[in-house]
Structures are given as structure tokens and as C-alpha cells.
A and B are shown apart, each in its own frame.
Chain A
Amino acid sequence: EAQVTQNPRYLITVTGKKLTVTCSQNMNHEYMSWYRQDPGLGLRQIYYSMNVEVTDKGDVPEGYKVSRKEKRNFPLILESPSPNQTSLYFCASSLKGTDTQYFGPGTRLTVL
């Protein structure tokens, strides 16, 4: 089954404790992206990757890191999480950036 998986689905952590949210797709997509969703703000792009080893900032990259060492994986790293990073996070992939994006199920992150 074609899908985008994210782990964990829910995470509660404390300020400053490094964490990684994994994202994996099995569709051989070149394009992958991370978004955060906050009430009243819609989805905002954090980082995107057009292909392996190619990543670039979206609209809200501060406090986040990404890497794309393999085509299928695109982890999101919060090296020192803060409460303002409490949000719902989505990973997405597509064949190209202009194609339909396939979204993961979301990760609800709470930073205390």
C-alpha cells in the first residue's frame, strides 16, 4: 500500500530535550516536505527536499533541522524544543513538488 508514515504519532516532551520525528514514504517520490499546523494559521511549510541531499527552508524553519540521506526518509529534528513548537506536524511527499502531495497521518507534539 502506498503511504507516508510518521513516528511517533503523539509526543509529549520537555523544553530542551532533543527529539526526532521520522517520516518515510514507499512511493519513490522525489519531493518531501514538513509542515506544521496551528489553529488559525493553516499549514506552514518548515522545510522541503526536492531530492536526496537537497533540502531548503520553507516559511518557518527556525528551530528545526532536516536531512535527506535516502530517498524514502526525511526526518525532522528539534535539537532544543521550546513550547512554541507545540503543534501538529505533517510530512508529505509527491513525485514532484507540483503534483498531488500525499500526507502522513500527523504527529501531535507537546513541549512543556
Chain B
Amino acid sequence: AQTVTQSQPEMSVQEAETVTLSCTYDTSESDYYLFWYKQPPSRQMILVIRQEAYKQQNATENRFSVNFQKAAKSFSLKISDSQLGDAAMYFCAFSPLAGEKLTFGTGTRLTIIP
């Protein structure tokens, strides 16, 4: 069974600064997908970024980028130029290649300090 670990329950960052959220996972599979989802106070779950394990290039979406280290089974999220609207819970998630089960981490609550 796959496991996803987010070791930082809470983090804070000054507005306009850069912050990195950590995620590690455990799997015996060689191909899979990884995701970061954002949950603002509205509770709506929103996809931030998606990474395919067979792609060596790290995914980026505007101010959001990942550092995907396949050998280390690490998938961290970097948020550049943090904005007040980035305040949310962030969840890392793993999907096997067949796409049947999605496993989430326990989340990191990010606070943005004005």
C-alpha cells in the first residue's frame, strides 16, 4: 500500500517570500502520478499542480513549482512570491498508474503573514 507523508502540519511565510512544503511517499511502483491540492477556508479542493513520475522535468504552474526527486521519493511544492490568497491547507496526493486509488497526506496549513 502506498503512503504519503507531510511532516509539516503548519507553516508560515511573509507575503512576497518563497516557501517550500514537503511531501514524501512510499511505493514500489515505478510509474505513478503525484498531485498537490489546495483547500482554502471555503473548503473547496483545488488542483495546484500534477506531476507524472516518468517525466523528469519538474512541473510548474505560474508561481507554483515542484521539486520531484524520484529516487528519494520526495515531491515538494515551492510557492514563489507568496500572496494572501495562498493561505490554505495543502495536500499532497499519490495515484498509481492505473488510477484507481488516490492516497492523500495529512496536509500542511500555510499561513501568509502580511
- Chain B neighbourhood of A81, CB < 8 A: none
Pick out which of these stretches binds chain B: A15-23, A62-70, A72-80, A94-102: A94-102
Question: By the criterion CB–CB under 8 Å, are A98 and B45 in contact?
Answer: no
Interface size class of A (residues with CB under 8 A): 20 to 34
**B residues contacting the other copy or chain, number (CB 8 A):** 25
Known contacts A40-B106, A41-B106; is-contact A100 B100 (Cβ 8 Å): no
Nearest Cβ in chain B — how far from A101, in angstroms?
A: 7
A14 to B95, CA, bound (A): 35
Q: What are the interface flags for B89-110 relative to A under an 8 Å C-beta threshold, 1 for contact and 0 otherwise?
A: 0010101011111111111000
Nearest Cβ in chain A — how far from B14, in angstroms?
A: 27
Question: By the criterion CB–CB under 8 Å, are B102 and A33 in contact?
Answer: yes
B47 at the interface (CB under 8 A from A): yes
Nearest Cβ in chain B — how far from A77, in angstroms?
A: 20
Closest to B107 in A: A42
Q: What are the interface flags for B47-71 relative to A under an 8 Å C-beta threshold, 1 for contact and 0 otherwise?
A: 1001000000000000000000000
Q: What are the interface flags for A12-36 relative to B under an 8 Å C-beta threshold, 1 for contact and 0 otherwise?
A: 0000000000000000000101010
A36 to B37, CA, bound (A): 15
Question: By the criterion CB–CB under 8 Å, are B100 and A88 in contact?
Answer: no
- Chain B neighbourhood of A88, CB < 8 A: 43
Q: Which of A41, A45, A90, A101 contacts B47 (CB 8 A)?
A: A101
A29 to B100, CA, bound (A): 14
- Chain B neighbourhood of A35, CB < 8 A: 104
Closest to B39 in A: A37
Nearest Cβ in chain A — how far from B105, in angstroms?
A: 6
Q: Which of A59, A101, A105 contacts B43 (CB 8 A)?
A: A105
Q: Which of B45, B99, B106 contacts A97 (CB 8 A)?
A: B99
B44 at the interface (CB under 8 A from A): yes
Known contacts A98-B33, A105-B43; is-contact A42 B102 (Cβ 8 Å): no
Known: A101-B47, A103-B45. 6 other contacts (CB 8 A): A31-B99, A40-B9, A44-B104, A98-B95, A98-B97, A103-B44
